[in-house]
Amino acid sequence: MSKTPFQEVKSETRLIEKIAMLVPGYRGYKLKELRREADKLVRNYMYQQLTSSRDDLKTILQRLVDSKLTDMWTDVDRLVTDLDMVSSEINHAAYGYAGFFDAVKVNEKRLDSMLDFDSKLVENVASLSAKVKQFKGEISGGRFENTRAYMKDVRVIVDLLHSLYEERSNIMHGV
């Protein structure tokens, strides 16, 4: 069974940190920090993958332009823009901090829920990456007959990523 990002980060804490976690009050603080660090690492990974997929879509768009397939330019350009927006949202999402006087406090349960959403996002980012690479391979090989089907499949995944991100954001805000 594979470890969650939180378990992975937690298992790699140094000896001094493990000793400090025995101090009353510090342990809860440190575990929250580890959850936030795991979230940050996961989201950085997703952002890199999404940026790569966006760049592949730009290459696809250029190939369509070069091939004078004008009826598809706008749709692919929208996909690039939407993917860029989703990747930016994921990259700049809050790490689970709440100010001292904020009405909604971010507790461990909420942080764990956030990590669960991040794992769903990772799965969909991997699916998107695979589909875009397959799409790029087809276009690079001069095979344009399945372009609309690929665009539809990519659109579904991008929309799902946006929806999951919004749900994650709602959890963070206690909605």
The structural domain count of the chain equals 1
| 20 lies in some domain | no
pLDDT at 166: 86
| 145 lies in some domain | yes
Cβ density class 133-169: b for 16+ within 10 Å, e for less: eebbebbeeeeeeebeebbebbeebbebbbebbeebe
State the residue for tokens 């665009």: 151
Q: Which residues touch 148 (CB under 8 Å, ≥6 apart)?
A: 72
| 53 lies in some domain | yes
| 6 lies in some domain | no
Q: Which segments of 98-142 does DSSP mark as H helices, in order?
A: 108-140
pLDDT at 60: 95
Mean pLDDT, consecutive 10-residue stretches, the chain (175 aa), reads 63 62 62 74 90 96 92 92 92 58 53 74 94 96 94 96 84 64
| 1 lies in some domain | no
Expressed as residue numbers, the domain containing 116 is 43-172
CA distance 175 to 167: 9
| 3 lies in some domain | no
pLDDT at 169: 74
| 125 lies in some domain | yes
